[in-house]
Structure 1
């Protein structure tokens, strides 16, 4: 399969994408620290303060994570309806190959308004290399209001509370199945505006 099958519209082909991080090294380091803290403390809502260009339809947090985590060695999956401007931006700044199938991706980014595929469609890693699994970035409507969830697992003292609005009804049922596959399974970042929340596959979610 051609990982570069998505072609840009003629209107974008000769136009330079908007800037990435204002200071690439500092911005990526700052965003990476926040991402690590989010995964180390599942359910804790943090903010990425590094400034970066944000293509239409994306959020600052999602773009900052992609600029930090995705590169030429990490195939990226985007839903079919994502704007060409987003694809051009990520190709220019990250150099990442774009794949057509969720199972071929190391990272997947789902902006608001795009349906999340079944988590089982993404690469769960291999028993010998569980770290080769996919990481999903999903934009939600709110990380302060919405469905009340109770989290437990590594990085959480007894229990933690999280409120999330904007995910499909069956998403958390799929997450429980993903958790049961540990040490295999996908990891997750939820984003909203500049906020992020990390949910590694080791996190148990009850609602």
Structure 2
């Protein structure tokens, strides 16, 4: 849909060049999951409805569609603006149950739901699980646990600021369920970093 049509209908614009920018964002998302803990910037100009940040908006406009239910946390669902934005641009189905979603948007990172509230997949179909996009206050590279696992040379130290104190313990406990589990995308501004289920968080 053209920018002019978007403005005529009173909707916040999505990608200026939908095909090209979606391809760029898709490659960046793949890179983020291939190299966990590596901070990347999305080279797109988006001004999504508050409180959704540009990186989270770009990821959802790239990855979500009619066949991938999205759950919004209380901060994202406080008004209909974000749901309307996703429906308008990607015909996204918004679900009220986190366990039914393939993608979740958490704008209030301090109240990130416990992992068991989402779809964790099964041993036969581990891919039938949720990917949780969490908006954070920023990224610290000199504190927090060491990230180890596939795609990481030796180790990476990274901590997304604003997560609940219980996150680290819950994430470590979830690792015992592998290949079941959750994949996380942390976003701040136009930056993102991925924490797939294959990554271990160590002291």
- In the superposition, the TM-score normalised over structure 1's length comes to 0.88
Q: Judge conservation of contact 1:146–1:164 (CA < 8 Å) in 2.
A: no
Number of matched residues? 194
Gapped regions of structure 2 (runs ≥ 5): 1-7
Q: 1:129-177, CA deviations, whole angstroms, 9 ceiling, x for partnerless residues?
A: 1111110000111113684220001111221111321100011111112
Q: Does 1:109 align with 2:116?
A: no
Match of 2:13 in 1: 19
Contact (CA 8 Å) 2:186, 2:193: kept in 1 or not? yes
Alignment RMSD = 1.7
Partner of 1:153: 149
- Per the alignment, residue 69 of structure 1 pairs with 63
The answer to whether the Cα contact below 8 Å between 1:112 and 1:141 also exists between their aligned partners in 2 is: no
Is the CA contact (8 Å cut-off) linking 1:61 and 1:196 kept in structure 2?
Answer: yes
Q: Secondary structure at the match of 2:83?
A: helix
* DSSP 3-state at the match of 2:158: strand
Equivalent residue for 1:46, pick from 22, 40, 43: 40
Contact 1:124–1:130, Cα closer than 8 Å, also in 2? yes
Return the alpha-carbon distance in structure 1 between the equivalents of residues 109 and 131 of structure 2. Answer: 19
Give CA-to-partner distance per residue, 1:64-95, whole Å, 9 cap, x none. 00000000000000013423111110111111
Equivalent-residue separation in structure 2 for 1:34 and 1:50 (angstroms):
11
- Structure 1 residue aligned with 2:171: 175
2:200 to 187, 201, 204: 204
Post-superposition offset of 1:35: 0.5
Alignment of 1:109-148 (within 5 A): 109-112=105-108, 115-144=111-140, 147-148=143-144
TM-score of the superposition, structure 2-length normalised?
0.90
CA distance in structure 2 between the aligned counterparts of 1:46 and 1:72, rounded to whole angstroms:
27
